[in-house]
Amino acid sequence: MNKKIEAPLSNEVVQSLEAGDYVYISGTIYTARDAAHKRLYESLLKGEEIPFDLTNNIVYYLGPTPAREGKVIGSAGPTTSSRMDKYTPLLIQHGLKGMIGKGKRNDEVIAAIKDNTSVYFAAVGGAGAVLSKCITKSEVIAYDDLGTEAIRKLEVNDFPAIVVIDCKGNNLYEEAVKEYCR
């Protein structure tokens, strides 16, 4: 099913999503990759402030290429999500509502998704140039020293993604394999 949703996410929206749904996200999302996740994680463990409120927000696992002249952002394809798995359960416990990436997640992340009414989306890998057209604004808000891995605040309009793991723990990657084997 195709659904248009707004970010930040509400519990009601997350609860309405099912693994396999195609969504078009509009609103504000944030970017963070490995190095930024490590800093966020360490700050949360120490009880320190972090650069943005995780509550109800979506993090896109993205390290964009530099923007060409006249463009908001460069190629904006997803990073492999499993690289963030070590840090993700704690971020979800602190209010992170959604993640966009590519690939499978570990059991701890899936449990955190279920326990905290969160959702995992996949964006199409290799389609970074197309995805960048859905980003209308990009602003580095933290960890500028990380270059492309700095945290960015993005405004997106009809950003396409697929619900891979819904808040009930249904996993499109597992269900699709089962369906194929039938």
Provide the residue ranges of all domains of the chain, joining segments of one domain with +. Answer: 2-181
The pLDDT value recorded for residue 179 is 64
Name every residue whose Cβ is closer than 8 Å to that of residue 171 and which is 6 or more positions away in sequence: 19, 110, 164, 165
Per-residue pLDDT of the chain (182 residues; tens, 9 = 90+): 799 999 999 999 999 999 999 999 999 999 999 999 999 999 999 999 999 999 999 999 998 988 888 889 988 989 999 999 999 999 999 999 999 999 999 999 999 999 999 999 999 877 888 899 999 999 999 999 999 999 999 999 999 999 999 999 999 988 765 665 56
The pLDDT value recorded for residue 177 is 59
In this structure, are residues 89 and 112 in contact, taking their beta carbons and an 8 Å threshold?
yes
At 80 the three-state DSSP class reads: strand
Over the stretch 29-45, which tens digit does the pLDDT of each residue have? 999 999 999 999 999 99
The mean pLDDT value of the chain amounts to 94
CATH level 2 (architecture), domain 2-181: Alpha-Beta Barrel (3.20)
In this structure, are residues 100 and 160 in contact, taking their beta carbons and an 8 Å threshold?
no
Cα separation of the two ends of the chain: 22
